[in-house]
Amino acid sequence: MEQELRSQPETWREAARIGASGADGALPEAGARVAVIGCGTSWFMAQSYAALREGSGQGVTDAFAASEAFLGAPRGYDAVVAITRSGTTTEVLRVLEAVRGTVPTVTVLGDPDTPATPLSDRTVALPFADERSVVQTRFATSALTLFRAHLGEDLAAAVRDAEEALAAPVAREWVDAEQFSFLGTGWTVGVANEAALKMREASQSWTESYPAMEYRHGPISIAAPGRVTWLFGRAPEGLADDVARTGAHFVHHARDPLADLVLVQRVALERARAKGLDPDNPRSLTRSVML
C-alpha cells in the first residue's frame, strides 16, 4: 500500500493527461444525464465525480452505490459510468448487465482485461494506477483526477500539493486520536467518505463522515478532546468555532482536497503500524467483493 500511495503524483499526472486529451471520447458528453455507480471507494469517487460534473454545468449527474443500484438499475439516464478498480465486483457487473442495450455504458477500471469489459460499451483503463493492495489508494484518486481533467480543470497544482502531502509531517494527535470525523462540501463529501473508509480499512479506526453543515445537526455531539474533526475543501462559516468549543482537534489544510486525502492515507498507515496491524492484510476484506 505504501509504495502505491507514494506513486500518486505520477499516476495523477498520467490520469490528468488522459482526461485533458478527452479520454478517447469514452466519457459522456455535456448535456447527457448520467448515473455513476461503484462500490466502496469507487462509490465515493462516483459521488465526487457526480458533484463536479453537475456543478460544472455538464448535466444532471447522480451517484449510486452499485450495491443498491443492482436491486433496481438506475432509470432515466442517457449514460451509465461504472467505476471499478478490479472490474470484478459483482454488484457493478449486475448493473452493467441490467442496463445493457438500453443505455450506453462506460467503465473506468484498472486492468482492461476483466469481466466488466465485455459488459461495457466503452472502457477507460488506468493500468498505470492499478494496485495489488486490498486497500485502494492510487486507483481511486487517479480516476477522480481523470474526471477532473476531463471537466476542464488544470491539475498541476493538485499534483504539486500531492507531492507536498507526501512530505508533510504526520502529527502525533492524528496517530493517537480516539476518533475521526471527516467533513466535506460538494465534491469533497465523497473525499470525506473515502478518508473515513481508508482509516477504517487500513487501521481499524473509529471514523465517521458527513457533509460539513450536516455535522452540526447532531454528529458534532461526539466531538471532544482527543478526537479529530478533519475538513476537506471550503470551510462553512462558523464551523471552526463550533468545533473549537468541543475541544476536538480541528484540521483544515489549504492544499487541494484530493491531495489532503493522500495525507489521510499516510495517517491510516501510521495508525495501523502504531497498533501493530498490517495495512496490507486488513481484517475481513478482500481486494474485490464477489457475491
Which residues contribute to the site for ligand F1P (CB under 6 A)? 39-42, 84-86, 89, 92, 134, 136, 201, 285, 287-289
Instruction: For residue 51, give the nearest of 172, 250, 153, 189 by alpha carbon.
Output: 189
One-letter amino acid for residue 131 of the chain: E
- Nearest distance, CB of residue 272 and ligand F1P, angstroms: 15
Cα 29–Cα 34–Cα 37 angle in degrees, nearest 5: 125
Which residue, 131 or 270, is less far from ligand F1P as judged by CB? 131
- Nearest distance, CB of residue 224 and ligand F1P, angstroms: 29
- Nearest distance, CB of residue 161 and ligand F1P, angstroms: 23
Which residue, 89 or 193, is less far from ligand F1P as judged by CB? 89
- Nearest distance, CB of residue 271 and ligand F1P, angstroms: 17
- Nearest distance, CB of residue 257 and ligand F1P, angstroms: 19
Which residue, 277 or 289, is less far from ligand F1P as judged by CB? 289
- Angstrom distance (rounded) from CA 248 to CA 66: 35
Which residue, 41 or 229, is less far from ligand F1P as judged by CB? 41
Which residue, 91 or 256, is less far from ligand F1P as judged by CB? 91
- Nearest distance, CB of residue 268 and ligand F1P, angstroms: 12
Which residue, 86 or 188, is less far from ligand F1P as judged by CB? 86
Grid cell locating 83? 467505476
SS3 181: strand
Residue nearest to ligand F1P according to CB distances in the complex:
40
DSSP 96-165: HHHHTTTS-EEEEESSSSSTTTTT-SEEEE-GGG--SSSS-SHHHHHHHHHHHHHTT---HHHHHHHHHH
Grid cell locating 269? 498507515
Which residue, 115 or 236, is less far from ligand F1P as judged by CB? 115
- Nearest distance, CB of residue 134 and ligand F1P, angstroms: 5
| Chain-centroid distance, C-alpha 235 | 20
Grid cell locating 81? 459510468
- Angstrom distance (rounded) from CA 211 to CA 218: 12
Instruction: For residue 41, give the nearest of 101, 167, 131, 170 by alpha carbon.
Output: 131
| Chain-centroid distance, C-alpha 214 | 20
Grid cell locating 96? 452493467
Instruction: For residue 48, give the nearest of 183, 153, 161, 194 by alpha carbon.
Output: 194
